[in-house]
Every structure is written in structure tokens, then in C-alpha cells.
Amino acid sequence: MITYESVTKIFGSGRNAVTALDNLNLTIPKGEIVVLLGPSGCGKTTTLRLTNRLEAITRGNIYIDNQNIMDVNPVQLRQRLGYVIQAIGLFPNKTIADNISIVPRLMGWEKNEIEKRVDEMLQLVNLDPGIYRNRYPAELSGGQQQRIGVARGLAADPDILLMDEPFGAIDPINREQIQNEFLRLQAKLKKTIAFVSHDIHEAIKVGDRIALFDKGKLVQYDIPEIILTQPKNKFVADFVGADRALKVLGLMRVSDVMNRHPENILRADERTENALHFLKEKGFRYGIVIDGTMPAGYVTQATLSYEKGIVAGLAEKYPLFLKERTSLRDVLSFMLMYDLPLFCVLDDNENFTGTVTYKDIQQAVKESYAD
């Protein structure tokens, strides 16, 4: 979708010349999010600004759908590309509706089309049109303003979205929420996105691929799993961090490792002596007590040895349940927090579907590095 062919950008001349981008060769596939990652001054934002011709290319070519961007009128090119920046850049004297509709109006859309599109965009970013379309930016929170920035970038329905640290100015809690919202939108819209970030955690979370830059050069371009498990050199290894095994867990979900048919299941109405015999015979230290379709908790051999009755009355409740889309990084955190080696997984209807253990997570990490 976007191809960079030996692209170089030099600012200044002579002794004062600075090479901001050095011989970049890169292709961003259609419908994917490629995160341009690296420290400040590495060339990632320059790459975006060259793409929409806010900066002139010194050498090389950029193609969009096999068309050289230099053969396209720069204004028309920018109208084709959604652009979202960290500073958001909403016009403070214009309503939210006016801010969102800027590009469609410049492109000559009909008034009724624009109004319909504004409402669609607000609904898309989970903001009620009846409440927000006539408000001004100052009346919105930072997270809401950032959503409007995304809505404005998508308003003209561009195939390509350029995003320059779009969530960098948001506090950590709202930042995670808007990242999740953004991924929900991408799953629905399948845009081609060049996404600038300096945050490895964000890159791993949102990127289908990561392009890691250093001093104007592309150092490694791979899917996140490869960046984390097979760093190309010391710079990449240092940048992703010594805890990259934990970062790998952020890419994996409960659904990737869960046991859908655990054997250590006990009925809630089971007698304690029968349950204890079953656990000893099978070599299980504890059993999961199921009441109908829901886990009632867990019991250990020690508990069953000292108490009589039915297991439901002895079950220790789980502090929380997991969903299949929960990341393994979060699961490991829960296990350490609650000192439990196993959690139960529920589906969206709150039915028991399986378990995840510490050993499952440990094996997943080993396999990711072995692959």
C-alpha cells in the first residue's frame, strides 16, 4: 500500500547538513498497522511528513498504490491521507462537528452528507452525537479530544491514516482505554496505518509490524514477536528491554494457551471423601468446584482432609475470572498478586470454558523463543 524506495531526507547543506532519514526501504502492507518506533530524532516523524509531502524528499521515491506521490497534487494527496497528531490540533473556535467535517467540506461534500458523516464518526468513537456535536474542544476532556482527532482523521474515509504519537499526551489510564478503542475501530475498518511511537509497550500492543529506527536508519522491520524474541543487534535488544520475555506475554492471549478440558473438576454436590479420593488418585493438589456452568471456587487436598460434607461448602472463591482475550502478561500479574497458580476462564455468557496455569504461561514463553 505504501512503499518507501531508497528514501533519504537531508536538512541543510554543507557542514550544517543533517541526514534525518538515510536510504529507507520499507513497505507497509494494506490493512495493517505499522509502528515506526525509535528514540527522538531517529527519523520516524520525518518519514510521515515525507509521506504527505509536508517535507520534500531529498532522494528516493514514495509510492501509494503504486503511484509516485510526486505525481499527485500535494493538497489532493493530503486529502486522501488521514492525519492524527499528538497535539490533536482541534480548532478551539469551531464546534466538534465543524472540526470533524473540515476535510469533507474542503472536498465539496453535500451538507446532508457531512452531517450524516459527523454523526457516524462520533458514534464510531463512542461519543453521543446529540451531546457532543455542538460542543467546543475546551468543553471536552483530553481523552475525548483525542477521540475527536481520530474521528477527524477518518472523516473523509481515507484508505491510509498517518498517526504521529497520537496518544502520547494522554494520561496512562485514558491512554490504555483509547488504545483499546483504536484497536476496536481498526478491527472494523482495516485501514492502512503508519503509526509513530517511542513507546515499546504501545508498539507491541497496536502494531501488526514494527519498524525500529536509529539515527535515521531502519534497523529492524518485523512482527512484534520477532522483534522481541530475535532482536537483530544490541541496539534493538537494549531498546526493547531486558524484560522482553514479559513483553512477549503482552502479545499472547488466554485463548492461546488455555486448557479447555481440565481434568481436576469436582461437582459442587460431591462428598468431600469422594473428592479427596479422586484428587489423590489422579495426583491433583487441588480441584476446581463447578456449580452448574460456573466455578464456585477451588478446594485442596488439605482442606478436604480436615472437613466433612460437600465440597461446595468448602470452596475458596477465586478473586477474579479471566476472559479468553485477557493478555498473559495480565494473567501472570494476577497470579503473583493473589498467589494463585491457576485461574478459571469464562466466555462472554459467564460460562466456564477452561483454565490457565503458571506452567501454561511458562511453556508459552519457552515455545515463543524456541520458534
> For residue 154, what are the CA distances in angstroms to 83, 135, 161, 179, 301?
8, 19, 8, 16, 58
Sign of CA dihedral 97, 99, 103, 105: positive
- pTM here is 0.74
pLDDT of residue 369: 67
Grid coordinates belonging to 208: 501488526
pLDDT of residue 240: 86
pLDDT of residue 371: 60
Question: Among candidates 137, 161, 43, 52, which has minimal Cα distance to 89?
Answer: 137
The pLDDT averaged over each successive group of 10 residues in the chain (371 residues) is 95 89 96 94 94 94 95 89 79 92 88 91 87 92 83 86 83 76 85 92 90 96 89 91 77 90 92 91 91 91 86 91 89 90 91 92 78 60
Grid coordinates belonging to 46: 520525518
> For residue 357, what are the CA distances in angstroms to 67, 165, 189, 351, 364?
51, 36, 35, 18, 11
Strands 33-37 and 342-346: unpaired
pLDDT of residue 178: 78
> For residue 301, what are the CA distances in angstroms to 126, 271, 277, 304, 341?
49, 13, 9, 5, 16
Grid coordinates belonging to 79: 486529502
pLDDT of residue 277: 92
